[in-house]
């Protein structure tokens, strides 16, 4: 069957964020190409941000993506604060950590239960799970309880799960009250056993796909988190905040005009698997104790272990939040303001799906001149395509195309791609004949 020739097109992937398709051509039993294409229509945020007042920028850019919106807010605020030379207070930094924890709990749970778990259980949809089956009954209830706890927490800390209104340049507009904090502690403790069950599910998931690649993530200095740190390139270096601009402009941005991102000539992966591979030693002590053997699996090159990494991240987000909520009081603080100045600011955060870069160029009048946004799914594109090509070749020649389509979609789903964000890149992909 070495003369196997066919074209395979997955028109619109399901159970992912947004709209994407995949084109594969097989010739003589070899994958000639696998093109992962974002089919969202561009909404041109990098143009739209021009001539906007800088204070309006984080809320505008949150509209790039509903599910990652709070990560875009954090990255944009950081970029704007760097441009305006604003140093946030300790309390603001903690509230931002908590904002990212709420986001990750909610967003990872959506992916792990509603998108990925139907594949594990051999069902089309999570809502098809059988409430009379004790295992699936538990899964149904666990999923919505974890999601609800994350949603409640996001509302408490940031004002909303989507396009959060409280975090702004220079601080927060609102602070959690004791009643809400007590309720959050209660909900998080109640839902913790469900999160441990989620870890167990993905520790034992039946799928594996190993392919060596490089991992890159923003790695914090003290505790596992999503905002502070240096960019660990996976090649023995860690780029500190002073080096963000050079890294972005010299390494990351040039590839936004190419067919995908590479680092030192090689594809790389960002996201929960990269973070866990590079920073598991920084997880909360309670998380480490409870995760047991699950942590020994990392570092891993098995893409499906990204699901396990997300489950462990949910637990870390719960455990660190619980420690903060039980030991800290939150007091109203004024917003830090500085005069506008002509400057460039870079913000780098770990969105749920990986490293997210925002760049803003602001004028002395406080109006944005221009900017750039580099999203995780863009950085993962070459890796996704390489994985799909390797998977298809592994399945040739005896696998039906229907089965191939299912396996490809399942593999891509493990990347938890976000196409609303990714509609910003892939510029040249569309220019190819």
Partner 1 sequence: MIQDKKLKIGWFSFSCCEDNTVVFTELMNDHWQEWKKLFDFRHVRVLKSNNVLDDLDIAFIEGAIASDEHAARLKEIRVKSKKLVAIGACAVVGMPAAQRNYFNEKQKQEIEFLVARFQALPKVLKVSDVVKTDAEVGGCPMDPAKFLEMVNKLVAEFKK
- Binding piece for partner 1, criterion CB under 8 A, among 61-69, 224-232, 243-251, 356-364: 61-69
Q: Tell me the closest approach of the beta carbon of residue 17 to partner 1, in angstroms.
A: 7
The pairing of beta strand 214-215 with beta strand 268-269: parallel
Strands (DSSP E) along 187-237, which ranges?
A: 214-215, 217-219, 230-232
Distance CA(187)–CA(195), nearest Å, equals 12
- Binding piece for partner 1, criterion CB under 8 A, among 34-42, 177-185, 204-212, 220-228: 34-42
List the one residue from 9, 27, 43, 341 that touches partner 1 (CB under 8 A). 43
Q: Does 48 bind partner 1 (CB under 8 A)?
A: yes
Contact 201, 120 (CB under 8 A): yes
Distance CA(81)–CA(218), nearest Å, equals 18
- Binding piece for partner 1, criterion CB under 8 A, among 38-46, 262-270, 313-321, 346-354: 38-46
Distance CA(81)–CA(170), nearest Å, equals 7
Rg of the chain over CA atoms, in angstroms?
21
Strands (DSSP E) along 205-279, which ranges?
A: 214-215, 217-219, 230-232, 238-239, 268-269
Q: Does 65 bind partner 1 (CB under 8 A)?
A: yes
Identify which of 361, 342, 353, 362 has the alpha carbon closest to the alpha carbon of residue 416.
353
Distance CA(57)–CA(369), nearest Å, equals 12
Q: Tell me the closest approach of the beta carbon of residue 72 to partner 1, in angstroms.
A: 9
Helices (H) and strands (E) in the chain, counts: 15, 13
Residues 6+ apart with CB under 8 A from 389: 24, 31, 33, 34
Site for partner 1, residues 163 to 222, rule: CB under 8 A: 163
- Binding piece for partner 1, criterion CB under 8 A, among 57-65, 241-249, 342-350, 373-381: 57-65
Q: Tell me the closest approach of the beta carbon of residue 186 to partner 1, in angstroms.
A: 16
Q: Tell me the closest approach of the beta carbon of residue 37 to partner 1, in angstroms.
A: 12
Between 230 and 368, whose beta carbon lies closer to partner 1? 368
Element holding 33 (H helix, E strand): strand 30-38
List the one residue from 63, 174, 197, 211 that touches partner 1 (CB under 8 A). 63
Between 337 and 427, whose beta carbon lies closer to partner 1? 427
- Binding piece for partner 1, criterion CB under 8 A, among 56-64, 169-177, 205-213, 339-347: 56-64
Identify which of 391, 356, 394 has the alpha carbon closest to the alpha carbon of residue 374.
356
- Binding piece for partner 1, criterion CB under 8 A, among 29-37, 82-90, 155-163, 231-239: 155-163
Q: How distant, in Å, are the alpha carbons of 152, 305, 307 from that of 198?
A: 20, 13, 10
Between 88 and 102, whose beta carbon lies closer to partner 1? 102
List the one residue from 42, 137, 250, 337 that touches partner 1 (CB under 8 A). 42
Nearest 5°: the CA angle 304, 308, 311 is 140
Between 41 and 265, whose beta carbon lies closer to partner 1? 41
Distance CA(230)–CA(397), nearest Å, equals 45
Site for partner 1, residues 96 to 135, rule: CB under 8 A: 106, 110, 114, 118, 124-128
DSSP class of residue 67 equals T
- Binding piece for partner 1, criterion CB under 8 A, among 17-25, 165-173, 250-258, 347-355: 17-25
Q: Does 366 bind partner 1 (CB under 8 A)?
A: no
The pairing of beta strand 217-219 with beta strand 230-232: antiparallel
Q: Tell me the closest approach of the beta carbon of residue 164 to partner 1, in angstroms.
A: 11
Question: Binding residues for partner 1, per CB under 8 A?
Answer: 12, 14-15, 17-19, 40-45, 47-48, 50, 60, 63-67, 69, 106, 110, 114, 118, 124-128, 140, 144-145, 147-148, 151, 160-163, 409, 420, 427, 430-431
């Amino acid at each position: 069957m070495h003369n196997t020739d066919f074209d395979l097109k997955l028109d619109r992937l399901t159970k992912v964020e947004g709209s994407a398709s995949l084109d594969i051509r097989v010739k003589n039993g070899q994958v000639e190409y696998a093109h992962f294409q974002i089919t969202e229509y561009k909404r041109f945020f990098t143009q739209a941000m021009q001539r906007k007042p800088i204070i309006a920028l984080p809320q505008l850019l949150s509209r790039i993506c509903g599910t990652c919106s709070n990560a875009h807010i954090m990255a944009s605020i950081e970029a704007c604060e760097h441009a305006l030379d604003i140093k946030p207070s300790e309390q603001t930094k903690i509230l931002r950590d908590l904002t990212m924890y709420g986001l990750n709990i909610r967003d990872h749970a959506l992916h792990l239960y509603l998108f990925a778990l139907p594949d594990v259980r051999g069902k089309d949809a999570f809502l098809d799970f059988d409430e009379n089956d004790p295992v699936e009954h538990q899964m149904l209830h666990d999923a919505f309880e974890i999601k609800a706890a994350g949603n409640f927490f996001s509302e408490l800390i940031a004002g909303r799960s989507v396009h959060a209104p409280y975090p702004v340049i220079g601080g927060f507009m609102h602070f959690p009250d004791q009643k809400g904090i007590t309720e959050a502690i209660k909900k998080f403790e109640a839902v913790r056993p469900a999160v441990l069950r989620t870890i167990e599910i993905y520790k034992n998931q039946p799928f594996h796909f190993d392919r060596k690649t490089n991992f890159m993530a923003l790695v914090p200095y003290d505790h596992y988190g999503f905002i502070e740190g240096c960019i660990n390139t996976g090649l023995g270096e860690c780029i500190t905040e002073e080096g963000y601009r050079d890294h972005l402009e010299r390494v990351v941005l040039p590839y936004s005009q190419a067919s995908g991102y590479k680092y030192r000539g090689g594809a790389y992966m960002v996201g929960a698997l990269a973070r866990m591979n590079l920073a598991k030693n920084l997880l909360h002590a309670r998380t480490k104790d409870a995760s047991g053997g699950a942590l020994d699996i990392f570092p891993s090159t098995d893409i499906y272990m990204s699901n396990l990494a997300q489950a462990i991240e949910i637990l870390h987000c719960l455990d660190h939040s619980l420690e903060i909520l039980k030991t800290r009081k939150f007091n109203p603080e004024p917003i830090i303001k500085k005069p506008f100045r002509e400057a460039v600011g870079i913000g780098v955060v770990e969105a749920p799906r990986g490293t997210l870069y925002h760049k803003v160029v602001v004028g002395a009048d406080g109006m944005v001149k221009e900017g750039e946004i580099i999203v995780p799914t863009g950085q993962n594109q070459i890796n996704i395509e390489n994985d799909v090509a390797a998977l298809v070749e592994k399945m040739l020649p005896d696998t039906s195309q229907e089965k191939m389509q299912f396996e490809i979609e399942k593999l891509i789903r493990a990347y938890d791609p976000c196409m609303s964000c990714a509609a910003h890149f892939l510029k040249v992909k569309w220019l190819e004949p």
